[in-house]
C-alpha cells in the first residue's frame, strides 16, 4: 500500500471516530434527559428511577432507534451523515436493519472497552479496515463522495 492510501485511510478513520463519538454522546444525553424526567430525588440526594427494571427497556429502545433503525433507513447514523460516511455490505449492497443491528451489537467491545482503542486498532490494521462489528455483519464504512468504494 502506498503512502497516499494510508493518508486516505487515516482521514476516513478520523471521521469514523468523530462520528461514533458524537453519536454516542448524543445517545447518552438522550438517556440522561430521560433519566432526569422519570427519576425522583431521594432524601439522601440520590436520583432513582421509579420504574427501574422497565427503564432499561427504554434505554435499549433509544439505542435501537438511534443506531440500527436510523442507520438502516439512511445508510448512516446521523453523525455519519454529517461526516459523509456510509455503511454498506461487503458486496456493495445497501445496509439493512439486521446488518446494522449486528454491527452495533459489538460496540460495547469495539468502542467502550479500553476507550475504543480495540475498534480503532482493528479498523487501522485489518485488510478491509473493519472493526469487530463490521466483521460480524459483513459491512464496510465508506466515504460518500468517493465514486469507488474506499473502505475504512
pLDDT of 1: 47
Structural domain includes residue 82: yes
pLDDT of 82: 95
Structural domain includes residue 83: yes
pLDDT of 152: 45
Overall domain count for the chain: 1
DSSP calls for 93-137: PBP-HHHHHHHHHTHIIIIIGGGGHHHHHHHHHSTT---HHHHHH
Structural domain includes residue 149: no
pLDDT of 8: 64
Structural domain includes residue 109: yes
**Where in the sequence is the domain holding 13, given as residue range(s)?**
3-143
Structural domain includes residue 152: no
What are the mean pLDDT values of the chain's consecutive 10-residue runs (152 residues total)?
A: 54 89 95 88 80 82 95 96 94 94 90 82 85 93 67 48
pLDDT of 147: 47
Structural domain includes residue 85: yes
Please enumerate in sequence order all residues whose Cβ is within 8 A of that of 110, keeping only pairs 6 or more positions apart, or say none. 116, 118, 119, 122, 131, 132, 133
Structural domain includes residue 121: yes
Amino acid at each position: 500500500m502506498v503512502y497516499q492510501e494510508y493518508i486516505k485511510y487515516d482521514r476516513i478513520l478520523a471521521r469514523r471516530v468523530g462520528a461514533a463519538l458524537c453519536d454516542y454522546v448524543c445517545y447518552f444525553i438522550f438517556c440522561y434527559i430521560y433519566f432526569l424526567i422519570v427519576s425522583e430525588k431521594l432524601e439522601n440526594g440520590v436520583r432513582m428511577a421509579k420504574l427501574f427494571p422497565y427503564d432499561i427497556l427504554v434505554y435499549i429502545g433509544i439505542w435501537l432507534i438511534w443506531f440500527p433503525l436510523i442507520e438502516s433507513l439512511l445508510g448512516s447514523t446521523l453523525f455519519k451523515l454529517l461526516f459523509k460516511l456510509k455503511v454498506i455490505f461487503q458486496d456493495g449492497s445497501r445496509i439493512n436493519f439486521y446488518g446494522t443491528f449486528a454491527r452495533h451489537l459489538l460496540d460495547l467491545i469495539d468502542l467502550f472497552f479500553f476507550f475504543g482503542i480495540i475498534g480503532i486498532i482493528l479498523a487501522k490494521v485489518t485488510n478491509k479496515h473493519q472493526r469487530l462489528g463490521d466483521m460480524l455483519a459483513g459491512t464496510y464504512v465508506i466515504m460518500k463522495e468517493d465514486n469507488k468504494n474506499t473502505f475504512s
